[in-house]
């Protein structure tokens, strides 16, 4: 039982679990922070950006969290926990010889597909005249300026995938529902559990009949839109792999939401515009729901809200059809009404969505307004345009809500900037307080987590509450670690067919404990084992046996059972007498007795832990054998 | 022997008021709780007194599962839970949970408000009943209690229809509810995995029918509607608000669009708009095509179909009206039918099954004079057409499902006895499994023969597996030996050595020694060597060692030679073996007693 850790990023994990002859990849997050090393990709060529000193304008490449720690083609299945953690899927499933299956819930697949589509769209609509790769060469890189020179593992940065690769990768996804039990090769059962973080997000249970591994990734206990987290099913785990805790342990999401609303209102009232760089699915639903309630009270009824993304419409539509997986939205569907209030915002024309800033948007655009658009790294997508447009006015505000990127780094190429910057990272994932409570409740035997969680954050080294303290201490992993999970598999499930079960003769050894010897045919198929009666009854009729014995040696039949117990002297003598053996001389020895059967010239040595029969006559010997066996238990 | 018992309280050799009791592994489950459309008295509900004569059902049932929202499957639910009394869990899918109370309320209104019946469940009872409902997701394994688990599969038929797999230990039952094995314009086909249940309880509405392709039926339907419209006639299509109605709407909508027709299409009752809304929100339950395109165009937003008002029925000119309910037994469809029945230009198309006793059933059987309330008679002059659109599996579909699930026994419900008989014969012949068709109140008992799950020590298993070579060979089964320890509720299979250790027992060694006299004129050492050579040639595949200390060891049997004191040609062989080598030891002693063959050196 081994765990290969391919990613060091705690919220974008990628681990491979080898468990009972199966190789299971847990998530494949794509760390896109390396795009911060590149210049923004504007829709229109911007002389200002290309003339910035100290920055290189290059193709949008992406840091892929994988390493040749193991052969990707040997992976049997990939389990996806949420749509943010599947963005590297095409890199794993395409061009690697991967032939396995990917498991994900329906919302994860649909929204994941949308986010990939969006990423590809962002990249492809600004085609590069040229793309360079030789700069990754060590010698050349040494001469490059600042951040690039220091970037690690540059050779692993890859070009963004194409739509074709996305489609091919997603065709390998098999849909699963919460609490559905999926058998893998008969050896292992995997099952997704609601994790409460985003639509369709799941934790996974990987178990056999005797071992249980829980994989917790991106879970939330807050009441936002998704179905609440299923905690009780995580109980009794041997190992719990813990990833995806909040990246903002000190920021309270509710407080941030309040700050978001008040800053937004303030800017609008002052006649400025608000830019919210965000992902096109996830927290945006909560932001819109919050604004829905806030608009009236803040007197923003006339302010237009724009959601600009190639997938804006799809994202909003899709969110409405997964009501079954939503928290306290189910009752709305029964009415029937759309579960999310953004349907009403759209109906009343308060929220408008556009695929891009081209086309309808440019004619309908009114200021002051609020714009939700991607990408949160500010390096590509329509947000680049709005930064250029609004950056110079101090009336405008940019509000960061996604915690994935450092907002200072994100803003760097746009400096100097007059526009106000507000940082309200909303990360609803578990914080350390919540996770310790959770672990106390579910009591796993061992916890495995990224090493970042075992020490306080670098910037707040005194905050010992911002780390995991457990007994026994968690097993930390870092990128490229291979952990041997502390597992002792001792038992396996086997099925005894009814026919055989009926033929077993149990005998009671102690009160409440019975034993039966089993000799049976073992069938193993698809990792399932069954025991079946041996077709020919092993004990032959004695006459036949003797005849055969002369011709050929005995075939290896069922071996004799082991014996236990002791032969009681008095009782044994009585039994002998019953069988016509009367002349017995008993002699006491240090460990027991020696019985001399004088008429038969036979010795029987009876001891506490053994019996020795010295007898030359075969018929008598077998009689004595059977008499002794009556006193012993067979195992 | 463990048994599974199945007793239909309704739908046994009958269509209507589906209600089937299943006892499996000590658990009692009620499958569906429907009403009968053909009766207006006590017989419309299943006879719950079968379960208990006095009082509430809570103690006698572990759970109730509703397969879909049709009233013949859920119509008696508030009566059962609120009037008879049941507080346990009721399971149904999300769409069923959403739509079922609306249909129940509709049904209640017709019965109480229009027909003036008393002693019927109230609106509040419907609400209270729905509070006991736990929603199910597809393929989700729901643990009802520690032993009983249920899992829902997609059944087609109507929005949210499900088949359920019920499992206790290694025994299981699948109940199909109503299902459809061919995808239609808005729903997908039923599917189940090879779960090999002990009993498959299947509906058999169309047990003897093998329907022609859907396309033909659709074309026929459109042709009939079109002809009638061209003639200037009015077309009435009695439907249930949800289900077939949506499929036919999609069909007519696309046809109207393509042919550029102008005649109005109406849909009666406010329920419809709501109904279409349900389809929009539960789009994940519809078929692939609709799901794929819903962002661009929601199939359930109709351009040509408008809400119906009672006054429209007297409007001149052609029109198409969808009206509820589907069997013409009450409500708006019956009212419109009465208005239009006298004109031969008009047409009524019955798109589904009609229960005996309803007007729908009568006119389909060719009755042209109907007795109405108050001795009035109604002459039926309009054309009556029957189009089988109701989404039940036909004989082919039922066989297909059996092939999918591979049940050990088959049980038919929800069909007519004669038709069932025919299908039963076919099933028994084709699959050689037993097929049952109990009548209402009749119990079918199936004995199951479950295998016993046991925990085997991994050491033992690996040892045995290793014997058969690195790869298991199905043709060469391996015999394994071990000891089964039964302690409280656990069953463990371990090797004998481990069993001794775990039970804290001492091993008792049983040994045998025997002397064999042999005439052999050689030295002791030579005799021993001759024995060694002899045994080598006789015992193939055994380990035989000739040790320098003057012993031959066969497996663990020790053979020593000494000369007799009186005669040096008489050798005395000493054989000693333990009980574990009994067979071989016994064999050797008799073999050596016969002496050594001449001709070995």
**What is the rounded CA–CA span in Å between residue A251 and residue A255?**
8
**What is the rounded CA–CA span in Å between residue A428 and residue A316?**
20
List the single best residue of B508, B587, B590 to mutate versus A (max A Cβ within 10 A).
Answer: B508
Does domain B214-386 bear CATH number 3.50.50.60?
no
Instruction: Looking at the complex, report in whole angstroms how far the Cα of residue A408 sits from the nearest Cα belonging to chain B.
Output: 37
Please indicate whether, in this complex, the C-beta atoms of B458 and A491 are within 8 angstroms of each other. Answer: yes
Please indicate whether, in this complex, the C-beta atoms of A562 and B281 are within 8 angstroms of each other. Answer: no
> What's the confidence (pLDDT) of residue A547?
43
> What's the confidence (pLDDT) of residue A163?
92
> What's the confidence (pLDDT) of residue B314?
87
Please indicate whether, in this complex, the C-beta atoms of B483 and A635 are within 8 angstroms of each other. Answer: yes
Pick the CATH number of B511-594 from 3.55.50, 3.30.310, 3.40.720, 3.40.1360: 3.30.310
For A193-228, write each residue's pLDDT tens digit: 999 898 899 999 999 988 999 999 989 988 777 788
Please indicate whether, in this complex, the C-beta atoms of A609 and B493 are within 8 angstroms of each other. Answer: no
Of B142, B472, B496, the CB nearest to A635: B496
Please indicate whether, in this complex, the C-beta atoms of A549 and B457 are within 8 angstroms of each other. Answer: no
Please indicate whether, in this complex, the C-beta atoms of A517 and B481 are within 8 angstroms of each other. Answer: yes
Question: Of residues B67 and B44, which shows the higher confidence score?
Answer: B67
Please indicate whether, in this complex, the C-beta atoms of B480 and A531 are within 8 angstroms of each other. Answer: yes
Active-site annotation holds for B203: yes
Contact predicate B601/B581, CB 8 Å = no
For B276-324, write each residue's pLDDT tens digit: 778 888 888 888 888 888 877 777 778 888 888 888 888 888 999 988 8
- Using a CB-CB cut-off of 8 Å, the residues of chain B touching A106 are 284
**What is the rounded CA–CA span in Å between residue B110 and residue B175?**
30
Class of domain B3-210+391-444 (CATH, top level): alpha beta
Please indicate whether, in this complex, the C-beta atoms of B514 and A621 are within 8 angstroms of each other. Answer: yes
> What's the confidence (pLDDT) of residue B499?
85
**What is the rounded CA–CA span in Å between residue B254 and residue B289?**
15
List the single best residue of A324, A510, A591, A634 to mutate versus B (max B Cβ within 10 A).
Answer: A324
Instruction: Looking at the complex, report in whole angstroms how far the Cα of residue A622 sits from the nearest Cα belonging to chain B.
Output: 9
Of A314, A498, A616, the CB nearest to B514: A616
Please indicate whether, in this complex, the C-beta atoms of B511 and A558 are within 8 angstroms of each other. Answer: no
Q: What is the mean pLDDT of chain B?
A: 86
Q: Is the predicted pLDDT of residue A551 greater than 60, yes or no?
A: no
**What is the rounded CA–CA span in Å between residue B493 and residue B491?**
7
For A96-148, write each residue's pLDDT tens digit: 889 999 999 999 999 999 999 998 888 887 766 555 555 556 666 566 655 55
Instruction: Looking at the complex, report in whole angstroms how far the Cα of residue B316 sits from the nearest Cα belonging to chain A.
Output: 35
Instruction: Looking at the complex, report in whole angstroms how far the Cα of residue A453 sits from the nearest Cα belonging to chain B.
Output: 33
Tokens representing residue A598 in the block: 């004088």
Q: Which residues of chain B does CATH 3.40.50.10890 include?
A: 214-386
Q: Please report the domains of chain A, with CATH numbers, ordered by start residue.
A: 2-245+431-484 (3.60.15.10), 253-423 (3.40.50.10890), 563-634 (3.30.310)
- Using a CB-CB cut-off of 8 Å, the residues of chain B touching A506 are 484, 486
List the single best residue of B154, B271, B583, B597 to mutate versus A (max A Cβ within 10 A).
Answer: B583
**What is the rounded CA–CA span in Å between residue A185 and residue A76?**
10
A540 touches chain B (CB under 8 A): no
Name the most confidently modeled range: A138-142, A353-357, A594-598. Answer: A353-357
Q: Tell the residue number behind the tokens 């179905």, with chain if given.
A: A227
- CA distances for B10 relative to B17, B21, B41, B157, B442, angstroms: 5, 10, 15, 20, 10
**What is the rounded CA–CA span in Å between residue A25 and residue A464?**
32
A494 touches chain B (CB under 8 A): yes
Question: Of residues B268 and B5, which shows the higher confidence score?
Answer: B5
> What's the confidence (pLDDT) of residue B270?
57
**What is the rounded CA–CA span in Å between residue A335 and residue B358?**
31
> What's the confidence (pLDDT) of residue A394?
93
Query: Is it true that the peptide bond before A315 is cis, omega within 30 degrees of 0?
Result: no
A107 touches chain B (CB under 8 A): no
For B53-71, write each residue's pLDDT tens digit: 888 899 999 999 999 998 8
Of B140, B464, B485, the CB nearest to A180: B140
Kindly state the average pLDDT of the residues B232-252. Answer: 84
> A505: nearest CA in chain B?
B484
Q: What is the 3-state secondary structure (H, E, C) of B161-191?
A: CEEEEEEECCEEEEECCCCCCCCCCCCCCCC
Of B280, B472, B583, the CB nearest to A524: B472
Q: Where are the beta strands (DSSP E) in A424-540?
A: 446-450, 475-477, 482-484, 491-496, 507-510, 513-525, 528-533
Of A333, A504, A560, the CB nearest to B98: A333
Q: Which of B530, B513, B537, B546 is nearest to B595 (CA)?
A: B530
Please indicate whether, in this complex, the C-beta atoms of A179 and B474 are within 8 angstroms of each other. Answer: no
Q: Which residues of chain B does CATH 3.60.15.10 include?
A: 3-210+391-444
List the single best residue of B104, B486, B540 to mutate versus A (max A Cβ within 10 A).
Answer: B486
Of A180, A498, A565, the CB nearest to B139: A180
For B480-510, write each residue's pLDDT tens digit: 888 888 887 788 888 888 888 888 888 888 8
Residue A60 pLDDT grade (very low, low, confident, very high; cuts 50, 70, 90): very low
Kindly state the average pLDDT of the residues B193-218. Answer: 85
> What's the confidence (pLDDT) of residue B272?
63
> What's the confidence (pLDDT) of residue B546?
84
Please indicate whether, in this complex, the C-beta atoms of B294 and A321 are within 8 angstroms of each other. Answer: yes
Q: Which of A558, A557, A522, A496 is nearest to B478 (CA)?
A: A522
Percentage of chain A beyond pLDDT 90 is 32
Helix H or strand E segment including A289 = helix A283-297
Catalytic residue among B117, B147, B149, B203: B203
Of B98, B141, B500, the CB nearest to A564: B500
- CA distances for A491 relative to A257, A453, B459, B568, angstroms: 51, 33, 8, 58
Of B454, B486, B586, the CB nearest to A506: B486
Tokens representing residue B489 in the block: 């509720």
Q: Is the predicted pLDDT of residue B118 greater than 90, yes or no?
A: no
Please indicate whether, in this complex, the C-beta atoms of B281 and A629 are within 8 angstroms of each other. Answer: no
- Using a CB-CB cut-off of 8 Å, the residues of chain B touching A628 are 510
Please indicate whether, in this complex, the C-beta atoms of B479 and A534 are within 8 angstroms of each other. Answer: yes
- Using a CB-CB cut-off of 8 Å, the residues of chain B touching A553 are 538-540, 542, 584, 587
For A372-387, write each residue's pLDDT tens digit: 998 898 888 889 889 9
> What's the confidence (pLDDT) of residue A546?
44
A620 touches chain B (CB under 8 A): no
Q: Is the predicted pLDDT of residue A325 greater than 70, yes or no?
A: no
Kindly state the average pLDDT of the residues A279-307. Answer: 88
For A513-548, write each residue's pLDDT tens digit: 888 888 888 888 888 888 888 876 545 555 444 444
For B428-477, write each residue's pLDDT tens digit: 999 999 999 999 999 999 998 888 889 998 888 887 777 655 555 556 66
Interchain CB contacts (distance < 8 Å): A and B? 261
- What three-state secondary structure class fits A482? strand
Q: Which residues of chain B does CATH 3.30.310 include?
A: 511-594
- Using a CB-CB cut-off of 8 Å, the residues of chain B touching A496 are 451-454
**ipTM of the complex, rounded to two decimals:** 0.81
**What is the rounded CA–CA span in Å between residue B176 and residue B434?**
18
Question: CA-based angle B86:B89:B90, to the nearest 5?
Answer: 90
Instruction: Looking at the complex, report in whole angstroms how far the Cα of residue A148 sits from the nearest Cα belonging to chain B.
Output: 42
- Using a CB-CB cut-off of 8 Å, the residues of chain B touching A514 are 485-487
Instruction: Looking at the complex, report in whole angstroms how far the Cα of residue A365 sits from the nearest Cα belonging to chain B.
Output: 23
Please indicate whether, in this complex, the C-beta atoms of B281 and A618 are within 8 angstroms of each other. Answer: no
Q: What is the mean pLDDT of chain A?
A: 83
Maximum distance among all Cα pairs of chain A, rounded to whole angstroms? 122
pTM: 0.85
Please indicate whether, in this complex, the C-beta atoms of A324 and B94 are within 8 angstroms of each other. Answer: yes
Please indicate whether, in this complex, the C-beta atoms of A635 and B582 are within 8 angstroms of each other. Answer: no
Of A178, A509, A554, the CB nearest to B140: A178
Q: Is the predicted pLDDT of residue B340 greater than 60, yes or no?
A: yes
Percentage of chain B beyond pLDDT 90 is 36
Tokens representing residue A510 in the block: 């102690």
> What's the confidence (pLDDT) of residue A22?
92
Q: Kindly report which listed range (B38-42, B190-194, B509-513) carries the lowest average pLDDT score.
A: B38-42
For B208-219, write each residue's pLDDT tens digit: 877 766 778 888
């Amino acid at each position: 039982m081994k765990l290969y850790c391919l990613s060091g990023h705690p919220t974008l994990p990628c681990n491979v679990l080898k468990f009972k002859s199966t190789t299971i990849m847990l998530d494949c997050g794509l760390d896109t922070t390396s795009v911060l090393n590149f210049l923004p990709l504007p829709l229109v060529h911007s002389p200002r950006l290309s003339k910035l000193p100290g920055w290189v304008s290059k193709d949008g490449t992406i840091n892929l969290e994988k390493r040749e720690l193991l052969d990707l083609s040997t992976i049997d299945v990939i389990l996806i926990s949420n749509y943010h953690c599947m963005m590297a899927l095409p890199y794993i499933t395409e061009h690697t010889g991967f032939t396995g299956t990917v498991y994900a819930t329906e919302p994860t697949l649909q929204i994941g597909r949308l986010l990939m589509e969006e990423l590809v769209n962002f990249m492809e609509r600004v085609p590069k005249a040229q793309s360079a790769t030789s700069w990754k060469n060590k010698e050349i890189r040494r001469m490059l300026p600042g951040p690039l020179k220091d970037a690690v593992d540059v050779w692993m940065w890859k070009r963004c995938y194409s739509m074709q690769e996305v489609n091919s990768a997603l065709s390998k996804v098999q849909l699963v529902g919460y609490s559905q039990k999926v058998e893998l090769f008969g050896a292992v059962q995997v099952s997704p559990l609601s994790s409460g973080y985003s639509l369709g997000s799941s934790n996974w249970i990987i178990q056999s009949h005797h071992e249980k591994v829980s994989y917790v990734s991106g879970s939330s206990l807050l009441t936002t839109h998704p179905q609440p987290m299923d905690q009780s099913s995580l109980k009794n785990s041997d190992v719990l792999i813990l990833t995806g805790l909040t990246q903002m342990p000190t920021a309270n999401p509710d407080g941030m939401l309040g700050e978001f609303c008040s800053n937004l209102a303030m800017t609008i009232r002052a006649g400025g515009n608000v830019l919210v760089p965000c992902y096109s699915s996830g927290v945006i639903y909560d932001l819109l729901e919050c604004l829905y309630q806030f608009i009236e009270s803040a007197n923003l009824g006339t302010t237009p809200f724009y959601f600009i993304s190639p997938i804006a419409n799809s994202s909003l539509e899709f969110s409405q059809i997964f009501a079954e997986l939503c928290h306290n939205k189910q009752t709305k569907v029964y009415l029937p009404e759309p579960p999310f209030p953004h349907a009403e915002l759209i109906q009343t024309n308060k929220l408008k969505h556009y695929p891009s800033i081209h086309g309808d948007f440019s004619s309908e655009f009114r200021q002051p307004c609020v714009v939700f658009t991607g990408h949160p790294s500010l390096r590509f997508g329509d947000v680049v345009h709005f930064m250029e447009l609004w950056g110079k006015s101090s009336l405008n505000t940019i509000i960061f809500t996604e915690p994935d990127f450092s907002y200072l780094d994100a803003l760097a190429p746009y400096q100097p900037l007059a526009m106000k910057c507000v940082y309200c990272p909303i990360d609803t994932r578990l914080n350390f307080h919540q996770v310790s409570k959770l672990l106390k409740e579910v009591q796993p035997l061992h916890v495995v987590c990224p090493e970042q969680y075992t020490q306080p954050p670098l910037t707040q080294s005194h905050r010992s509450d911002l780390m995991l303290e457990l007994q026994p201490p968690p097993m930390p992993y870092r990128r490229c670690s291979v952990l041997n999970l502390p597992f002792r598999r001792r038992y396996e499930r086997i099925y005894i067919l009814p026919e055989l079960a009926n033929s077993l003769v149990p005998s009671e050894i102690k009160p409440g404990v019975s034993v039966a010897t089993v000799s049976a045919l073992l069938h193993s198929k698809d990792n399932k084992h069954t025991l079946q009666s041996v077709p020919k009854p092993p004990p032959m009729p004695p006459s036949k046996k003797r005849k055969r014995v002369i011709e050929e040696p005995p075939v290896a039949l069922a071996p004799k059972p082991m014996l236990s117990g002791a032969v009681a002297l008095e009782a044994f003598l009585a039994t002998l007498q019953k069988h016509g053996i009367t002349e017995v001389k008993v002699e006491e020895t240090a460990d027991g007795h020696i019985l001399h059967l004088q008429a038969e010239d036979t010795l029987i040595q009876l001891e506490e832990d053994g019996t020795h029969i010295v007898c030359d006559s075969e018929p008598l010997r077998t009689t004595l054998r059977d008499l002794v066996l009556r006193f012993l238990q067979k195992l | 022997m463990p048994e599974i018992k199945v007793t239909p309280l309704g739908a046994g050799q009958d269509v209507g008021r589906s209600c089937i009791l299943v006892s499996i592994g000590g658990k009692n489950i009620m499958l569906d709780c429907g009403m009968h459309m053909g009766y207006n008295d006590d017989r419309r509900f299943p006879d719950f007194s079968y379960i208990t004569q006095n009082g509430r059902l809570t103690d006698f049932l572990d759970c109730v599962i509703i397969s879909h929202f049709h009233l013949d499957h859920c119509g008696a639910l508030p009566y059962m839970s609120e009037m008879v009394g049941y507080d346990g869990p009721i399971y149904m899918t999300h769409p069923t949970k959403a739509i079922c109370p609306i249909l129940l309320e509709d049904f209640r209104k017709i019965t109480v408000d229009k027909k003036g019946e008393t002693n019927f469940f109230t609106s509040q009872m419907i609400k209270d009943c729905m509070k006991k409902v736990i929603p199910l997701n597809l393929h989700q394994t729901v643990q009802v209690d520690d032993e009983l688990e249920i899992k829902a599969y997609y059944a087609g038929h109507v929005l949210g229809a499900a088949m359920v797999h019920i499992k206790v230990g290694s025994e299981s039952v699948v109940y199909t509810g109503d299902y459809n094995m061919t995808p239609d314009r808005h729903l997908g086909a039923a599917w189940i995995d090879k779960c090999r249940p002990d009993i498959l309880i299947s509906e058999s509405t169309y047990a003897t029918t093998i329907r022609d392709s859907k396309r033909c039926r659709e074309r026929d339907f459109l042709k009939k509607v079109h002809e009638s419209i061209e003639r200037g006639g009015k077309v009435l299509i009695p439907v249930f608000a949800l289900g077939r109605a949506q499929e036919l709407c999609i069909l007519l909508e696309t046809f109207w669009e393509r042919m550029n027709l102008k005649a109005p299409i109406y849909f009666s009752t406010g329920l419809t708009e709501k109904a279409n809304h349900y389809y929009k929100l539960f789009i994940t339950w519809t078929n692939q095509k609709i799901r794929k395109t819903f962002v661009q165009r929601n199939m359930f937003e109709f351009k040509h179909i408008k809400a119906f008002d009672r006054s429209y029925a007297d409007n001149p000119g052609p029109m198409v009206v969808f009206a509820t309910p589907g069997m013409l037994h009450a409500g708006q469809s019956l009212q419109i039918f009465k208005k239009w029945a006298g004109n031969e230009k008009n047409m009524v198309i019955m798109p589904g099954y009609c229960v005996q006793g309803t007007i729908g059933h009568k006119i389909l059987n060719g009755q042209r004079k109907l007795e109405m309330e108050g001795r009035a008679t109604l002459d039926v002059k309009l054309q009556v057409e029957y189009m089988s659109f109701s989404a039940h599996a036909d004989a082919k579909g039922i066989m297909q499902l059996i092939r999918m699930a591979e049940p050990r026994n088959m049980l038919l419900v929800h069909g007519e006895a004669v038709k069932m008989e025919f299908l039963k014969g076919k099933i028994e012949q084709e699959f050689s499994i037993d097929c049952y068709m109990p009548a209402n109140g009749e119990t079918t008992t199936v004995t199951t023969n479950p295998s016993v799950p046991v925990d085997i020590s991994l050491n033992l298993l690996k040892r045995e597996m290793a014997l058969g070579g690195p790869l298991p060979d199905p043709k060469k089964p391996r015999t394994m030996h071990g000891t089964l320890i039964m302690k409280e509720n656990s069953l463990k299979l371990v090797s004998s050595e481990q069993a001794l250790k775990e039970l804290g027992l001492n091993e008792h060694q049983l040994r045998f020694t025997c002397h064999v006299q042999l005439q052999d004129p050689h030295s002791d050492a030579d005799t021993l060597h001759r024995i060694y050579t002899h045994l080598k040639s006789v015992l193939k595949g055994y380990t035989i060692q000739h040790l320098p200390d003057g012993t031959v060891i066969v497996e663990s049997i020790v053979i020593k030679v000494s000369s007799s004191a009186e005669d040096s040609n008489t050798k005395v062989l000493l054989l000693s073996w333990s009980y574990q080598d009994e067979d071989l030891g016994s064999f050797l002693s008799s073999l050596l007693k016969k002496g050594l063959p001449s001709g070995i050196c």
